[in-house]
Amino acid sequence: MSTATLERIVPAAERDLKNHTSLSQSIANTFTMAYRGLVKIRRTPEQLVDVTVQPIIFTLMFAYIFGGAISGDVQKYLPLLIPGILVQTVITGSVVTGTQLREDMDKGVFDRFRSLPIARIAPLSGALLADTVRYTIATTMTFFVGFLMGYRPGGGLGGVVLAGLLVIACSWAISWIFAFFGVIARTASSVQGISMLILFPLTFLSNAFVPANTLPDWLRWFADINPVSHLVTAVRDLANSGTVGADLWVSLLGAAVIVVIFAPLTVRAYMRKA
């Protein structure tokens, strides 16, 4: 058998082996890639600035600038503000999934992964799993800062935990959108630009920082149907009173729809390049 023939057969065999990776190996490889993502954070902790420093700055800034004007008092504004800051911080943090994915692809990291006997989907699924740690840090920091400022959630510890889990789950679902952008975009900066163009109107034109009934009629209409508003309201219900309302189910349904649509699109686009 000629050398040229072997050069054609061996890569093809390797691809076939990767395409038939078992589920258990895929899960194990996913956790390995997730650990790689956490190691990157440990070596470059400045990656956590958006989920550690941002909640502090935004909470202090919004509380002391708008607290008196909106609620008459900073303490009265915190039950309205903290859930809004939480949702904004964690959702905007999900953009990192797409930007880092694009950076790894641009640097040729994923080309090296293709030469390894691992599941082809593992680098993508591992990155998405690792980012849930970022969401957890952002959630913890936001509630911690609020507590230091005097925020006392009426829903108790259980309500706070459920509110945090809800935000983390919805942000993980949203990260599939930005992962898709990361795969199809040309540069990491374009991923970030597109993502912020989508997120900023959704977060600020919602009930995250002001009551929706104080907005002009046309803007209130948009805020009422804004999915961010539904998520913020669900978090407020859980954290402030420990209740479950329709907004929670709307948020979970929206998260499920996002995953159903964007997970296959992302995986298909990724597999074409992986």
Residue with tokens 């006392």: 152
Spatial CB neighbours of 3, under 8 Å, sequence gap ≥ 6: none
Question: In the chain, where are the structural domains located?
Answer: 3-273
Percentage of the chain lying above the pLDDT 90 cut: 38
Amino acid code (one letter) for 141: M
Token pair of 264, please? Answer: 């296959």
- pLDDT > 70? residue 10: no
CA R_g for the chain = 21
Q: What is the pLDDT of residues 58-106, one digit of tens each?
A: 999 999 998 888 888 889 999 999 999 999 998 988 888 888 888 877 8
Q: What local confidence, expressed as pLDDT, does residue 200 receive?
A: 87
Token pair of 86, please? Answer: 């939480």
Mutual angle of helices 122-148 and 49-71, in 10-degree steps = 40
CA distances (Å), origin 188, targets 45, 68, 102, 264: 19, 40, 5, 21
* Max Cα–Cα distance, the chain, nearest Å: 84
Q: What is the pLDDT of residues 165-223, one digit of tens each?
A: 999 999 999 999 988 998 888 888 888 888 888 888 899 999 999 988 888 888 999 99
Q: What local confidence, expressed as pLDDT, does residue 26 receive?
A: 77
End-to-end CA distance of the chain: 29
Q: What is the pLDDT of residues 136-157, one digit of tens each?
A: 989 999 999 999 999 999 999 9
**pTM for this predicted structure:** 0.84
Percentage of the chain lying above the pLDDT 70 cut: 89
